[in-house]
Structure 1
Amino acid sequence: GGDWTSLEESSLPSDLVGNDLYGKTLGIIGLGNIGRRVARIGNGFNMRLLAYDPYVTDETAKKIGVKLLSLHKMLEEADYVTIHTILSKETRGLISARELALMKPTAYLINTSRGPIVNQSALINALANGRISGVALDVFEEEPIGKENPILRMGNVITTPHYAGNSREALEATSMRVSQETVRMIKGKTPLSLVNRQQLEELGFLPKK
């Protein structure tokens, strides 16, 4: 008994109705430490895991539980695309108008990596024209982002302040890692988090590979 209403007739705002992750397809760009952790999270939701990373072998991807595809093929199949790669000449503008046009109109893009990996003008155009359903941005093409940036006023955009690592535990872990890396350098060992090996090789601090 009683009165029943459909979802459309109910007072629940449509923008509070989300989508299940369970069983959806997750596309991961970059299978470094963070990308692999994201894969584990996706696996917990029984998601189909796809990835694009030209530096990872099929064997390694299989161990992680993901299927490697070309960037464009992955974009065509994914319901959610999440970016976890460094910013370089190779990755700057990696996601632009062509790539966004390949995504499903129901798909969502997530960028917690570096802003310039995604072409912002192409993204705004895709969002405005319903080319993709939405985007979540933790980083921006220009930072700090201007208050008048149109992307901040779009209804299908979620923005966050790139501040997730500001917990006591994370800050303590960072301090510990810096100390450990300093000790390694003093002992003449190569830092585990080395990002400029080529420069150190050229200066003679490290043997060339």
Structure 2
Amino acid sequence: MKVAVLDDYLGVARDCADWSRLPPGATLHVFREPLTGEDAQAAALAGFDVVVAMRERTAFPATLLARLPDLRLLVTTGMRNAAIDLDACRRQGVTVCGTGAVGAPAAELTWALILALLKRVPEEDRALREGRWQTGLTRTVEGLRLGVVGLGKLGTQVARVGRAFGMDVVAWSPRLTAERAEAGGARLVDKPTLFSSADVVTLHLVLGEGTRGVVGAAELGAMKRSAYLVNTSRAGLVDEEALLSALREERIAGAGLDVFSSEPLPVGHPLTTLPNTVLTPHLGYATRENFAVYYREALEDILAWSGGQPVRALGAR
């Protein structure tokens, strides 16, 4: 058995699970750097029976799967991966399994970004190191309006923290009801009201055909000049060019972003040149605790599959 672990940017995969438990004769190859482009991916993964994918860092469309005839098991960290063509896997006889996760670290990171923006943490840290003291006023969180777009598990956690800070929490999503909003610690408003009145807009929707580009020029144009946008969900929810324009022209106060249309974010990307952004490299799920579960359960998936009894199998879409 040949096992590939992809996109181990931090070099922690070997330490997060006891890979010596792989079946006798099995080999393990860990890819630290991203495989860019389908030709490179097909060449690098040729001959592997098992591939362990880290979230959606590497996509597995039908075209790539067709070039991997030896692939028999594809493990994804987490129990959902929109970058894997599950129907193509089923047709090709590739079993797809997932793993569990720990807590809601993306909700925690959301608050790290919100507070960094409102409290000017990056600017004041940089100024202090350069010998300058108190370069700008910060915002008081209490009394501000928090607009939560998507009130599922993560959005609900973010909303509850907002209420604990004394914020006025409102929410909207395409199918959100007033009852569900209240249960999640928010008040339902329509989309225009949320974007035009919130001091902080935070996104927590699943990316799909109905939500791609849900934040475009119109929504950004409706926001207050003093308002901030935070996205720890998926980059495709936001029209990136419209966001760049709004930030450059200071039509919104700033943005806190953990997700990008191209990852890893290329050196010199326009977002990195703007002073009104706080950027993190898709850290929402990258916690010590999460990775321990990811790789431990990925190994369990491999062992169960090799024994003829797959666990945590994902069905075709």
TM-score when scaled to structure 2? Answer: 0.51
Letter in 1 for 2:135: S
CA displacement at 1:143 relative to structure 2? 2.2
Gaps of 5+ in 1: 1-10, 200-209
Q: Compute the displacement of 1:40 (Å).
A: 1.1
Q: In 2, distance between residues paired with 1:150 and 1:120?
A: 10
| Superposition deviation, residue 176 in structure 1 | 7.3
The one of 152, 158, 163 aligned to 1:43: 163
For residues 52-103 of structure 1, what are the alpha-carbon distances to aligned partners after superposition, in whole Å with 9 as ceiling and x for unaligned?
A: 1122221121122211112111001100000011111111111111110100
The corresponding residue for 2:280 is: 160
Matched residue, 1:117: 237
Asked which structure has the greater RCO (Cα within 8 Å, sep 6+), the reply is 2
8 A contact 2:156–2:185 mirrored in 1: no
The normalised TM-score by structure 1 is 0.76
Q: How does 1:23-172 map to 2 (within 5 A)?
A: 23-172=143-292
Distance in 1 between residues matched to 2:141 and 2:294, nearest whole Å: 31
Percent of aligned pairs with the same residue? Answer: 35
Q: How far does the alpha carbon of each residue in 1:15-44 deviate from its partner, in whole angstroms, 9 at most, with x for none? A: 5x4212111100001111100110111111
Task: Structure 2: give runs of 5+ residues left out of the alignment.
Answer: 1-131
CA distance in structure 2 between the partners assigned to 1:163 and 1:130 by the alignment: 26
Distance 1:89 1:119 in 2: 14
Question: After alignment, is 119-128 or 158-167 more displaced?
Answer: 158-167
